[in-house]
């Protein structure tokens, strides 16, 4: 009994008697909307009479054929939407002087109750007597007549409601004024109903008394007296269309599809208009006669969804300069003249979302000092000019969401930081999660700017292994700044060039360089002679023991010719035969060269590339330094070292120490004879090379 609010909506109530609420005298709000969706609810007379404190009564969607009688005089909000009420009678509203908001939308005010048979529906005309039962509602401030298939309305009727602030006539079939006379429904004229709904605005599923339920925008309601004519058949407009509605401050003409040529006098009867909604139409801004010319008090203008592809320069000048909010979203703009904003000294909100902008040029303090919110979302912006926001300290919110930005350069970030921007929308952009975004990610981490949905909607699009990951989670430790990267680049490049130079020089001048290096080291560190003891072998033969063909040639040909044939036998030192096992390679080489009078190098392509050859050649040169005796003999089994300066020098100073294997079999006998004659000189004093001759 002490309850103040009761909700019985969406039930299957069929009958409401006098006793239903007899004990609920403290009720202030009663919701009986859609109490029975399938059948009409039977509400007996005087059922609400004793609810003297009731101020909000909802009877929406109950298939009522008439307004319940003897409603409490305390009611301020009365909802009668979606019923089958045929006529409004005086008795139903008698004494309801406190009613401020009356909802009569959705198929009301029909002269014939044939809602199930749309073929026989009659278009409604509002004349003097239609709303006469409501004239006594002296406090009525909101009247909803939406979706009643009204094709003609006498606007002078609404002047009788002195306190009326909102007139809602949206989603009807109002035609432009003046129009040809239309047969009065009382004369029996019937016309098939056009059931098509305007393609621009979706019909409301239900209307609530509160502004927050999207009936109208709050800023429209706050501006003054409101006239809603959206989603009608006003394919052109004239001053007569608005006569009689009173001092209208907010006018909504969205979703009418008008595109006729304008003459600039369309709103001359609305001198105090401050809010104008022309969205979802086909306005052509190319005409010289601008319909906004005389709207000097207009502060809010909405021309969204009008298929505008370009705004001519003169249009910027003719728009009302007192605008505080300008909405041009949902068009096809590819360019916007930012410098024209200097004409609007009070503009605070600019909505350019859902267009085709791809590039945004600089916005500096000379353009605007009043803009607080700039919406550039849902465009094709892929690049922002360096410091594209310079100077306007008023800008606090910037939306760049749903564009094609892959990163934001450093100069742009600095311009954002230097302004008063507190909120930056960046979600749904194909950001690049690489080191190219290093500065951008670092700025996000250190900035005080709020970025909504940073961890859920600001994601990476490339590379593939980062796709779908939050941009803020990209590991910037793998990146370095430009100066460090440049230094590392210089260091690595210098190392590569130095390495290539050294290897090239070593390849071309290895013997010369190694000889000079070791000679200089001996001079600097001091020199100690290693005189050879009495020679055990005449010749130490060094060759490529890994090559079986070379080994076979040495053992079966060279050894036989020098050791077994001829008058004089020359004992040879051979690695495969004479080297003791378990002795290091360096020791074996040193002893073999030291205990042999000569060192015979059997040169092949593979052997000259081995470290053994280089080491043996170095040790043989060491005897030249130690004993001033040249012990090197080169046997060219294959044509190698053709470009070696060492080989050229040896052939010039001691030609007989270089022999070549003949290319024809007929010359082999001469080769062996020549080699034997050279080896016979081994036991004679060496007169070929000496340190003195080299100097």
Q: Is residue 470 part of a domain?
A: no
Of 62-66, 199-203, 473-477, 561-565, minimum mean pLDDT range: 199-203
Q: Say how far apart CA 274 and CA 297 lie, in whole Å.
A: 6
Q: What is the mean pLDDT of the chain?
A: 80
Give me the domain span that covers residue 577: 539-688
The reported pLDDT for the residue numbered 317 is: 85
Q: Which among 4, 46, 56 is positioned nearest to 25, based on CA atoms?
A: 4
Phi, psi of 679 (to 5 degrees): -70, -30
- Listed in sequence order, the residues at least 6 apart from 352 whose beta carbon sits closer than 8 Å to its beta carbon are 328, 329, 333, 336, 374, 375, 376, 379
Question: Who wins on pLDDT, 690 or 17?
Answer: 17
Confidence of residue 512 (pLDDT cuts 50, 70, 90): low
640-655: pLDDT as tens digits: 887 777 787 777 777 7
> Three-class SS string for 75-128?
CCEEECCCCCCCCCCHHHHCCCCCCCEEECCCCCCCCCCCCCCHHHCCCEEECC
Q: Is residue 578 part of a domain?
A: yes
- Would you list the DSSP string of 250-313? EEE-TT----PPP-S-TTTT-TT--EEE--SS---TT-SS-TTTT-TT--EEE--SS------H
Asked whether residue 181 carries a pLDDT value surpassing 50, the answer given is no
Dihedral-angle region of residue 562 (phi above 0 means left; psi in -120 to 50 means alpha; beta otherwise): alpha
Of 162-171, 189-198, 514-523, minimum mean pLDDT range: 189-198
Cβ atoms within 10 Å of 635's Cβ, excluding its own: 21
E-assigned strands of 114-165? 124-126, 142-144, 150-153
Question: Who wins on pLDDT, 48 or 327?
Answer: 327
Asked whether residue 508 carries a pLDDT value surpassing 80, the answer given is no
380-396: pLDDT as tens digits: 999 888 767 776 778 89
Q: Which among 60, 18, 13, 20 is positioned nearest to 41, based on CA atoms?
A: 13
Q: How confident is the model over 295-322, as a mean pLDDT?
A: 90
Of 203-207, 261-265, 362-366, 522-526, minimum mean pLDDT range: 203-207
360-382: pLDDT as tens digits: 877 776 677 889 999 999 999 99
The reported pLDDT for the residue numbered 679 is: 67
Asked whether residue 196 carries a pLDDT value surpassing 50, the answer given is no
Q: How confident is the model over 619-648, as a mean pLDDT?
A: 80
Question: Who wins on pLDDT, 291 or 201?
Answer: 291
| Radius of gyration for the chain, computed over Cα atoms and rounded to the nearest angstrom | 52
Confidence of residue 131 (pLDDT cuts 50, 70, 90): confident
Confidence of residue 399 (pLDDT cuts 50, 70, 90): very high
- Listed in sequence order, the residues at least 6 apart from 316 whose beta carbon sits closer than 8 Å to its beta carbon are 337, 340, 343
The reported pLDDT for the residue numbered 22 is: 79
Q: Say how far apart CA 520 and CA 630 lie, in whole Å.
A: 19
Question: Who wins on pLDDT, 586 or 215?
Answer: 586
Asked whether residue 91 carries a pLDDT value surpassing 90, the answer given is no
Confidence of residue 83 (pLDDT cuts 50, 70, 90): confident
Q: Which residue has the tokens 């005796």?
A: 629
The answer to whether the CB of 488 falls within 8 A of the CB of 499 is no
Q: Is residue 534 part of a domain?
A: no
Q: Is residue 629 part of a domain?
A: yes
For residue 3, what are its two tokens?
A: 């309850």
Asked whether residue 209 carries a pLDDT value surpassing 50, the answer given is no
The reported pLDDT for the residue numbered 430 is: 96
The reported pLDDT for the residue numbered 511 is: 56
> From the centroid of its chain, how far is CA 358?
13
Phi, psi of 50 (to 5 degrees): -85, 0
The reported pLDDT for the residue numbered 208 is: 37
Q: Is residue 570 part of a domain?
A: yes
The reported pLDDT for the residue numbered 306 is: 92
Q: How confident is the model over 574-591, as a mean pLDDT?
A: 84
Q: Is residue 54 part of a domain?
A: no
Q: Is residue 653 part of a domain?
A: yes
The reported pLDDT for the residue numbered 250 is: 95
For residue 461, what are its two tokens?
A: 């699009």
The reported pLDDT for the residue numbered 462 is: 92
Q: How confident is the model over 500-514, as a mean pLDDT?
A: 75
The answer to whether the CB of 21 falls within 8 A of the CB of 51 is yes
Q: Which among 276, 338, 350, 293 is positioned nearest to 313, based on CA atoms?
A: 338
Q: Say how far apart CA 329 and CA 377 lie, in whole Å.
A: 9
Cα three-residue angle 552-558-564, rounded to 5 degrees: 115
Confidence of residue 326 (pLDDT cuts 50, 70, 90): very high
Q: Say how far apart CA 177 and CA 240 lie, in whole Å.
A: 6
Q: Say how far apart CA 417 and CA 95 lie, in whole Å.
A: 62
Percent of the chain with pLDDT over 90: 22
- Listed in sequence order, the residues at least 6 apart from 586 whose beta carbon sits closer than 8 Å to its beta carbon are 615
- Listed in sequence order, the residues at least 6 apart from 451 whose beta carbon sits closer than 8 Å to its beta carbon are 423, 424, 425, 426, 444, 458
The reported pLDDT for the residue numbered 682 is: 53
CATH classification of the domain holding 593: 3.40.50.10140
The reported pLDDT for the residue numbered 121 is: 38
The reported pLDDT for the residue numbered 563 is: 79
Percent of the chain with pLDDT over 70: 83
Q: Say how far apart CA 330 and CA 402 lie, in whole Å.
A: 14
Cα three-residue angle 268-271-274, rounded to 5 degrees: 120
Asked whether residue 529 carries a pLDDT value surpassing 90, the answer given is no
Question: Who wins on pLDDT, 548 or 518?
Answer: 548
Asked whether residue 600 carries a pLDDT value surpassing 80, the answer given is yes
Confidence of residue 633 (pLDDT cuts 50, 70, 90): confident
Q: Is residue 25 part of a domain?
A: no
Confidence of residue 120 (pLDDT cuts 50, 70, 90): very low
The answer to whether the CB of 203 falls within 8 A of the CB of 197 is yes
Please report, for residues 508, 629, 689, 693, the alpha-carbon distance to residue 650 in angstroms, rounded to integers and kept in the order given.
17, 14, 9, 12
Give the count of domains, the chain. Answer: 1
């Amino acid at each position: 009994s002490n309850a103040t609010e009761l909700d019985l909506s969406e039930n299957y109530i069929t009958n409401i008697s006098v006793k239903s609420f007899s004990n609920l005298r403290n009720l202030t709000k009663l919701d009986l909307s859609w109490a029975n969706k399938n059948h009409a609810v039977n509400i007996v007379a005087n059922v609400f009479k004793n609810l003297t404190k009731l101020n909000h009564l909802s009877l929406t969607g109950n298939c009522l054929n008439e307004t319940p009688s003897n409603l409490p005089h305390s009611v301020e909000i009365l909802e009668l939407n979606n019923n089958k009420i045929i006529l409004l009678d005086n008795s139903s509203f008698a004494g309801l002087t406190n009613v401020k908001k009356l909802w009569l939308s959705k198929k009301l005010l029909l002269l014939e109750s044939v809602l199930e048979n749309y073929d026989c529906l009659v278009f409604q005309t509002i004349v003097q007597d239609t709303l006469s039962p409501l004239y006594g509602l002296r406090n009525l401030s909101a009247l909803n007549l939406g979706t009643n298939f009204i094709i003609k309305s006498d606007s002078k009727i609404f002047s009788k409601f002195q306190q009326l602030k909102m007139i809602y006539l949206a989603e009807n079939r109002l035609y432009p004024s003046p129009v040809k006379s239309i047969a009065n429904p009382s004369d029996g004229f019937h016309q098939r109903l056009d059931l098509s709904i305007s393609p621009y605005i979706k019909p409301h599923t239900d209307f609530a008394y509160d502004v927050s339920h999207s009936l109208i925008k709050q800023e429209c309601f706050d501006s003054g007296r409101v006239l809603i004519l959206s989603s009608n058949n006003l394919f052109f407009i004239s001053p007569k269309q608005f006569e009689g509605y009173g001092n209208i401050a907010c006018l909504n003409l969205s979703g009418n599809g008008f595109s006729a040529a304008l003459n600039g006098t369309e709103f001359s009867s609305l001198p105090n208009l401050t809010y104008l909604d022309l969205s979802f139409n086909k306005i052509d801004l190319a005409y010289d006669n601008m319909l906004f010319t005389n709207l000097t008090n207009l502060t809010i203008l909405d021309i969204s969804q009008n298929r505008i592809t370009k705004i001519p320069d003169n249009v910027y000048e003719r728009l009302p300069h007192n605008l505080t909010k300008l909405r041009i979203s949902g068009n096809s703009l590819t360019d916007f003249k930012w410098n024209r904003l200097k004409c609007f000294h009070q503009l605070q909100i600019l909505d350019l979302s859902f267009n085709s902008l791809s590039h945004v040029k600089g916005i500096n303090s000379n353009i605007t000092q009043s803009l607080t919110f700039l919406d550039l979302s849902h465009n094709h912006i892929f690049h922002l000019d360096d410091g594209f926001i310079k100077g306007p300290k008023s800008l606090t919110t910037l939306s760049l969401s749903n564009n094609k930005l892959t990163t934001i350069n450093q100069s742009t970030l600095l311009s954002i930081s230097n302004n008063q921007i507190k909120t930056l929308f960046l979600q749904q952009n194909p950001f690049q999660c690489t080191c190219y975004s290093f500065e951008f990610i670092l700025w996000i981490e250190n900035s005080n700017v709020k970025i909504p949905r940073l961890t859920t909607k600001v994601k990476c699009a490339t590379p593939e292994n980062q796709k779908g990951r939050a941009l803020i989670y990209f590991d910037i430790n793998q990146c370095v700044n430009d100066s460090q990267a440049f230094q590392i680049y210089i260091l690595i490049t210098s190392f590569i060039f130095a390495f290539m130079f050294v290897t090239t020089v070593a390849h071309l001048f290895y013997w010369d360089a190694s000889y000079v290096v070791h000679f200089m080291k001996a001079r600097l560190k001091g020199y100690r002679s290693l005189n050879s003891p009495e020679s055990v072998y005449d010749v130490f033969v060094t060759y490529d023991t890994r090559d079986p063909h070379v080994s076979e040639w040495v053992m079966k040909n060279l050894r036989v010719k020098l050791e077994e044939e001829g008058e004089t036998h020359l004992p040879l030192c051979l690695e495969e035969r004479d080297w003791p096992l378990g002795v290091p390679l360096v020791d074996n080489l040193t002893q073999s060269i030291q205990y042999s009078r000569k060192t015979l190098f059997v040169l092949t392509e593979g052997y000259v590339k081995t470290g053994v050859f280089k080491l043996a050649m170095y040790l043989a040169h060491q005897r030249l330094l130690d004993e001033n005796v040249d012990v090197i003999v080169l046997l060219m089994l294959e044509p190698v070292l053709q470009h070696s300066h060492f080989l050229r020098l040896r052939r010039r100073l001691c030609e007989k120490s270089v022999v070549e294997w003949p290319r024809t079999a007929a010359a082999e006998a001469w080769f062996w004879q020549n080699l034997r004659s050279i080896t016979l000189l081994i036991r004679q004093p060496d007169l070929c090379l000496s340190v003195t001759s080299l100097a």
